[in-house]
Amino acid sequence: MSIIKIKDKSFKSFIPEAVILEKVKAVADRLNKDFAGKNPLFLAVLNGSFIYAADLMRMLTIPCEISFVKLASYQGTTSTGKVIEVIGINESLKGRTIVIVEDIVDTGLTMKRMIETLGTRNPESVHICTLLVKPDRLQVDLNIEYAAMEIPNDFIVGYGLDYDQGGRNLRDIYTVVD
């Protein structure tokens, strides 16, 4: 087990890159099957989902497009509960199949806000595709159709996820050491 230090916290290895990529491939296979014959628009939520979105896109074989949106709800290790849209969407969503690509669904408040915002732009459908979900932390009812993995309520870093902007570049996912 590998231990790393980021700022004032220590983290231990939790999910190795090989397992992550296997799970991403399984999600991509489902998306390829479910959206065959469509041209979905994948909306990757920055900053955390950029590595997941890149790996996922390379595994998709269907015609598709990708764009990015930036929402903020975290400070340090905890959600603020307030969602602020930082960078908006320029594409028309009317009649489009939208797949939100997120790194982690924690409380679900960010995802709920994003779905509400997208709904005002008349998409045909909106789907949630997340690398990680913390089922014990969900505060809202969400239909998370494409979740690569469920994890316990630990604070994690790596594979795009950060601790105060550190650790995004780690290939594996690490969990905080108490």
CA distance 14 to 151: 10
Q: Which uninterrupted H or E stretch holds 106? A: none
8 A C-beta contact, residue 30 and residue 146: yes
CA distance 148 to 137: 17
User: Which one is catalytic: 103, 106, 162, 172?
Assistant: 106
Angle at 27 between CA 24 and CA 30, to 5 degrees: 150
106 catalytic residue (yes or no)? yes
Catalytic residues: 106
